[in-house]
Amino acid sequence: MLTATHEVSIKGRMQQVPAFRLDDVVIITKGRFLQIAEIFDEYWLPVGNLPGPYRVLTELQAAQHKPDLFTFAQRVPDTQPRFPFHMELDNVAVIPLSSYEAWFSKQISSASRRNIRASEKKGVIVKEVSFDDEYVRGIMSIYDESPVRAGRKFWHFGKDFQRVWAENATYRERSSFLAAYADGEMIGYLKIVWDEKSAAIMQILSKLKFRERRPNNALLSEAVRLCAEKKIPHLLYESYVYGSKTDSSLTRFKRENGFIRMDLPRYFVPLTNKGRLCLNLRVHRDTKDLIPYWLRGRLIRIRDGWYARRGMKE
């Protein structure tokens, strides 16, 4: 059954992986030694469109070349385990919302409130805009500002117009696009993907030279305002922590701006003997998560320094 392929982005590179279609969703398989099947873009799909796990398992069991494992997760705010499979916890960054005023006055730090006010005083204007050529070119100007961001090679640097359009146009029919402007220039953007009871930030990025004007704070503030107006109770921004890196700058940004950690059940179902063995040995997750945090921190600093030196040469 897994005879077709589907294009996915893996570490910033587009690759073809085995896949098949099940109704309106695509099931993909990733990995070389250990092949793990999952619903493509499970996090971004409307929760009502997701097929039941038992149906997916039936299809995978019947496949001629079955994967070793099938993994799936419950969605916000469904935190109570509901399936009798091997379970681990995924964490998601979530802002529980009642109103914009409550978020601004009670859920964010005093520093974030100052940043939002300062951004407005420094002339940053945030608008909801159409997804068109002008917006895509504005995104490209942000991407192409520097080949290095946060000490590492920036995957989006140098992409052509067609690719930037295609990557940012996903789920366009149920997305809102925000742009931050200063001095007549687009300096940041944010994309929100809407579901019935939640919304998720797909991307938020701004120009480094305008960092002191706090455009990301202004963009997030407007995203929260839109959610409150639509009476959306949960705003998501991917993971709260990544692997063993428990206090990254991104996690601090989320914490300062009212995001909390919500742990969701993720299940792993073995389909082959290899899958059962790897699951028993706990070698089914990303290998980088097996590296001790103290060692990983040193390796990250070495990598960041290498990218910084290379970026300066380029």
Tens of pLDDT, residues 156-211: 999 999 999 999 999 999 999 999 999 999 999 999 999 999 999 999 999 999 99
Confidence band, pLDDT 50/70/90 cuts, at residue 65: confident
Q: Is residue 303 scored above 90 in pLDDT?
A: no
Amino acid identity for residue 43 in this structure: Y
Q: What is the pLDDT of residue 58?
A: 95
- Mean pLDDT of all residues belonging to the chain: 90
Q: Is residue 10 scored above 80 in pLDDT?
A: no
Least confident of 94-98, 160-164, 293-297: 293-297
Identify whether the C-beta of residue 102 lies closer than 8 Å to the C-beta of residue 224: no
Identify whether the C-beta of residue 186 lies closer than 8 Å to the C-beta of residue 179: yes
CB neighbour list of residue 146: distance below 8 Å, 6 or more residues apart: 154, 157, 208, 311
pLDDT average, residue stretch 19-32: 91
In order of 8, 23, 80, 115, 272, the CA distances from 265 in angstroms are 24, 24, 7, 35, 22
Query: ∠ CA(90), CA(91), CA(92), 5° rounding?
Result: 125
Q: Is residue 126 scored above 60 in pLDDT?
A: yes
This prediction has a pTM of 0.88
Confidence band, pLDDT 50/70/90 cuts, at residue 11: low
43 or 63: whose pLDDT is higher? 43
In order of 103, 114, 205, 213, 214, the CA distances from 121 in angstroms are 20, 10, 20, 9, 11
289 or 89: whose pLDDT is higher? 89
Q: What is the pLDDT of residue 312?
A: 46
DSSP E strands in 216-271: the ranges are: 234-236, 260-270
Q: Is residue 246 scored above 80 in pLDDT?
A: no
Identify whether the C-beta of residue 84 lies closer than 8 Å to the C-beta of residue 182: no
Six-digit token pair at 50?
């997701």
152 or 115: whose pLDDT is higher? 115
Q: Is residue 305 scored above 80 in pLDDT?
A: no
Identify whether the C-beta of residue 39 lies closer than 8 Å to the C-beta of residue 71: no
Q: Domains of the chain by range and CATH?
A: 4-89+266-313 (no CATH), 94-260 (3.40.630.30)
Identify whether the C-beta of residue 155 lies closer than 8 Å to the C-beta of residue 147: no
Least confident of 63-67, 84-88, 299-303, 310-314: 310-314
Confidence band, pLDDT 50/70/90 cuts, at residue 300: low
CB neighbour list of residue 294: distance below 8 Å, 6 or more residues apart: none
Confidence band, pLDDT 50/70/90 cuts, at residue 314: very low
Q: Is residue 139 scored above 60 in pLDDT?
A: yes
Return the residue matching tokens 């799909």.
45
In order of 21, 45, 46, 50, 56, the CA distances from 25 in angstroms are 6, 9, 10, 7, 11
